[in-house]
Amino acid sequence: MGEQVTGPPLGAPALLFDLDGTLIDSVYQHVLAWQEALTAVGIELSVWKLHRRIGMSGGLFVTALLRETGGVLSPGQIRELNLAHAEAYGRRRDTVRPLPGARELLAALTERGVKWAIATSGLALAARPALDMLGLPADTPLVTRDQVRHAKPDPDLFLAAAERIGVDIGSAIVVGDSIWDLLAARRARALGVGLLAGGYGRDELERAGAYRVYADPADLLAHLDEVGVRGVTDWATDPAGED
Amino acid sequence: MGEQVTGPPLGAPALLFDLDGTLIDSVYQHVLAWQEALTAVGIELSVWKLHRRIGMSGGLFVTALLRETGGVLSPGQIRELNLAHAEAYGRRRDTVRPLPGARELLAALTERGVKWAIATSGLALAARPALDMLGLPADTPLVTRDQVRHAKPDPDLFLAAAERIGVDIGSAIVVGDSIWDLLAARRARALGVGLLAGGYGRDELERAGAYRVYADPADLLAHLDEVGVRGVTDWATDPAGED
């Protein structure tokens, strides 16, 4: 040992982040925006059921909810519903903040040469303002729902994100707050890490396959070595990178 | 067997219900109302942490949150914060609905002579309009935060509710959506039943001591025999009340 004294360790995994509930604190606003949009077209559903579907593809989300109500909507109506949700969320956007540690975590990864990208079931229209809020440049690797055929829990978003930054999905770590992120991670053969910041319980995330669960980005940053990213948390105390 | 042919079974337990997230679908509105009130006084906390504190006494709620931020507020400031929350919730009240099966569950209990009451950490000011929404008369047994010394997770609210309807707390079943309901139930030596309708996960409720967890009031109504209330779900199919 002791040969490698600086720089990122060989084989360091890349991180693929979900956005809502993972980097920004927007889940509850999305939930009530969906309630507003659905109520406007006469669909009444308990709010906790909307919460548990957030993070899925918008199309799957509506289909899953209609299964509960027994209703049927045309593709045009589903599109309208998605637009109504985007409008209702837009009115709530000024209450959305970065989650604790989100900026610091991304900055620490960048500084140490660990590759990362963001992959969201949301549209580019909604994701772009979030980059500004996080203080990220416009060329941040970002894959949105508009760019893939199927959103979560299909693996497409994370596969596209890994390809975008030129890393092997098999050595990537998906970080997300919802079971849809973790199911998509397993289908993509990536390691999944859960965050409580979206309001799911720890057990729900572990059952969906989370290798490890943290409170929020700040908590993940403090424990990056547990998920296999060396040299970030060690850096201050152990700059030689020894075992 | 076969001796008892009508009326409620002997020793039938009484039910003590929480209100928000248990009978009405108001938790997410309360969560964002708290966020608004706290942000206005410069306290920034992740929304999921507010969610996990909802249902506690308002005083404990603020104290618990301040522990996370390291801040200090005077009793006067805490009172103002509670008023700001009530005002912010009031603006969201028109989106609140009864939870599925809430009216039917209470009506079925009343019809079969099973005693029940409502015990809420909220103020009478907020709880009274909820009775109207549920179609309940003004003389519905209701204990609010103003009427006891300590709110949940202290047992006072449920003890007062049991006394109000003249039942032994030891044979009562507390029904709630939050871990604070279930902790208060255990301290009161009542059986606790959890509902997912407030957005907690099943495991969180079971760990807090839930004897059984159901989705919402409709789901509880369909399974009342599991918690020891006989003669409600049996009534249609087994009017003789035999074992």
- Residue-wise DSSP of A68-104: HHT----HHHHHHHHHHHHHHHHTTGGG--BPTTHHH
Averaged pLDDT for residues B155-176? 96
All residues at 6 or more sequence positions from A186 whose CB lies less than 8 Å from its CB, including other chains: A192, A209
Q: What is the pLDDT of residue A141?
A: 97
3-class SS of residue B83: helix
Size of interface A-B (CB pairs under 8 A): 73
Domains B15-25+97-227 and B27-94 share a fold: no
State the CATH class of domain A15-26+97-237. Answer: alpha beta
CA distance B44 to chain A (A): 9
d(CA A114, CA A233): 12
pTM of the model: 0.88
| Partner B, chain A 63-122, Cβ-Cβ below 8 Å | 95, 97, 99-100
d(CA B7, CA B12): 10
Strands A142-143, B116-119: pairing is unpaired
A212 backbone dihedrals φ, ψ, rounded to 5°:
-160, 150
Cis peptide before B75 (omega within 30 of 0): no
What is the per-residue pLDDT for A34? 93
Q: Which CATH architecture has domain B15-25+97-227?
A: 3-Layer(aba) Sandwich (3.40)
Residue B1 has pLDDT above 60, yes or no: no
Query: Can you tell me the ipTM of this complex?
Result: 0.87
Residue of A nearest to B205 (CA): A201
Across the interface, of B44, B97, B99, the residue whose CB is closest to A97 is B44
- Chosen from A45, A48, A182 to mutate, greatest number of chain B CBs within 10 A: A48
Residues 6+ apart with CB under 8 A from B35: A28, A95, B45, B47, B50
Domain ranges, ordered by start, for chain B:
15-25+97-227, 27-94
Task: List chain A residues with CB under 8 Å of B35.
Answer: 28, 95
Look at A170-184, A229-243, B135-149, B203-217 and tell me which has the smallest mean pLDDT: A229-243
What is the pLDDT, as a whole number, of residue B195? 98
Q: How far is A121 from chain B (nearest CA, A)?
A: 20
Cα A10 to chain centroid, rounded: 26
Chain A CB contacts of B32 under 8 Å are 28-29, 32, 95
Is it the case that residue B7 has pLDDT exceeding 70? no
Distance, in Å, from the CA atom of B106 to the CA atom of B52, rounded to the nearest integer, reads 27
CB distance A206 to A213 below 8 Å: yes
> Among B14, B17, B19, which Cα is nearest to B165's?
B14
Q: What pLDDT is attached to residue B74?
A: 83
A25 to B39: CB separation less than 8 angstroms, yes or no: no
Burial A97-126 (b: 16+ CB within 10 A, else e): bbbbbbbebbebbeebebbbbbbbbbbeeb
Q: Strand B191-195: give its sheet, edge to edge.
A: B142-143, B116-119, B15-17, B173-176, B191-195, B212-214
Write out chain A's pLDDT in tens, 243 residues: 455 555 544 456 899 999 999 999 999 999 999 999 999 988 899 999 999 988 787 777 888 888 877 878 888 888 888 889 999 999 999 999 999 999 999 999 999 899 999 999 888 888 999 999 999 999 999 999 889 998 889 999 999 999 999 999 999 999 999 999 999 999 999 999 999 999 999 999 999 999 999 999 999 999 999 988 877 655 444 444 443
CATH topology of domain A27-94: DNA polymerase; domain 1 (1.10.150)
Give the residue from chain B lying closest to A94, CA to CA. Answer: B36
